[in-house]
Amino acid sequence: MLTERATALDAADPLAHVRDRFLLPDGVTYLDGNSLGALPAAVPAVIEDAVRRQWGTDLIRSWNGNGWWEAPLRTGDTLGRLIGAAPGQVVVGDSTSVQLFNTLVAAARLRPDRRLLLTDPDHFPTDQYIADSVGRMLDLEVRRVPAREAAAVLAAEGANVAVAAYAPVDYRTGELYDMAALTEAAHAAGAVMHWDLCHAAGALPVELDAIAADFAVGCGYKYLSGGPGAPAFAYVAQRHQQDFDQPITGWHGHAEPFAMSGTYTPGPGISRARISTPPLLSLLALEAALTAFDGVEMKDVRAKGISLTGFFQECVDTLLDGLGFTMATPRDPAHRGSQVALRHAEAYPLVAALTARGVIGDMRAPDLLRFGFNPLYVSHADVLHAVRELHDIVTSGAHRTPEFTQRPTVT
């Protein structure tokens, strides 16, 4: 019954052919593309060329001759299509944490008379740590308000809120929040809205321009599959660019970087959001990775993401009932991103035993098994296989051996 459903769903999948744009090893069911995306087939040749020809032969001439200088904004425009940003508003470079710091400070500087920074107590740790640091630097009170309560707090005491910093998708549970509604609530209070799109960009449609978003950042290495340590992106809405005052005034954001002036004059438009020399090999890898989205509509990505996560939940209900699992992710597709998390007291050894069988997800302490479903390369057959393996492990007790109970550094 489930086998037939998986086969039928995969046969009707308009994105099925896109899986060939990725190099996935045989025997691996990859459900961790929300932590490190799979390798796009276009990347190795681009890296080979970037290293041997561009770096090895063309050397310093590559800044002009091979388009290295324009790469952060060129790739930003390409990426912008996936997050609903018209050209000229996205820059790529540095890590998410750096981009976060840079844009959070710039956002707060737009509201110098306000003293509150709202953020989510369930936000990813780096986002909370950096919010706290920005609070100390700019003398702001950082208040942790859960995403689902933020609109009410903004309505009640929003007049003192400078910035609201949230993620549309909870990185642990996969819960999806209404970006348009929260952005509107922030604006109604006169606050600046800051979005972290790490678990949304490339996974579901994000309409930054349409919802009048102010600032956003996000990872290049999760659903965008840019590779380990891929540079992150920052979005600065066009209407804020004139007043965008970033704290990391690196020389690449200067109006005339090669005038080598001793004082900073920000460049025009989104170019002022550049910081400094980007990791070019990684940036070119990300640019090549984004070709996996060529001709792909984000509405189709979303439809398949809902189908994969919904089918996973259905398989769990059918095959894992009574085996100690609870569903941590909402069942309403309107409140669910492209990942599903299950709670189980033995989450860590279960994930380790699954990995040993080639089914790769991850766990988040203390008790979450987390599975990410990248609609570009995961199939319904993968979903069913993963749940069947989990059923086999938990019923046989295969996870209760020492090899699966000891933890490595990265979980």
Smallest distance from the beta carbon of 217 to ligand PLP, in angstroms?
8
Smallest distance from the beta carbon of 53 to ligand PLP, in angstroms?
29
Rounded CA-CA distance 14/188 in Å is 40
* Residue 304 annotated as catalytic: no
Q: 380-396 and 298-319 are packed helices; what angle lies between their axes, rounded to 10 degrees?
A: 30
* Residue 144 annotated as catalytic: no
User: Beta strand pairing status for 161-166 and 141-144?
Assistant: unpaired
* Residue 120 annotated as catalytic: no
Q: Which of 101, 171, 177, 221 is catalytic?
A: 221
Per the CB < 8 A criterion, the answer to whether 363 and 370 are in contact is yes
Smallest distance from the beta carbon of 201 to ligand PLP, in angstroms?
10
Rounded to a whole number of angstroms, the CA Rg of the chain reads 22
Tell me which residues touch ligand PLP (CB under 6 A). Answer: 95-97, 124, 126-127, 167, 171, 196, 198-199, 219
Per the CB < 8 A criterion, the answer to whether 178 and 153 are in contact is no
Rounded CA-CA distance 46/390 in Å is 37
Q: Select 6 or 130, whichever has its Cβ closest to ligand PLP.
A: 130
φ/ψ bin of 373: left (φ > 0), alpha (ψ from -120 to 50), beta (otherwise) = beta
Smallest distance from the beta carbon of 8 to ligand PLP, in angstroms?
33
Q: Select 158 or 218, whichever has its Cβ closest to ligand PLP.
A: 218
* Residue 221 annotated as catalytic: yes
Structure tokens at 64: 């002009």
What is each CA distance from 356 to 308, 362, 382, in whole angstroms? 23, 12, 16
Is 177 strand, coil or helix? coil
* Residue 302 annotated as catalytic: no
Smallest distance from the beta carbon of 31 to ligand PLP, in angstroms?
16
Rounded CA-CA distance 96/217 in Å is 7
Q: Select 95 or 173, whichever has its Cβ closest to ligand PLP.
A: 95
Q: Which of 22, 30, 101, 124 is catalytic?
A: 124
Q: Select 108 or 219, whichever has its Cβ closest to ligand PLP.
A: 219
Q: Which of 222, 272, 304, 336 is catalytic?
A: 222
342, containing H or E segment: strand 339-343
Q: Select 96 or 241, whichever has its Cβ closest to ligand PLP.
A: 96
Q: Which of 94, 196, 214, 382 is catalytic?
A: 196
Catalytic site residues?
124, 196, 221-222, 370
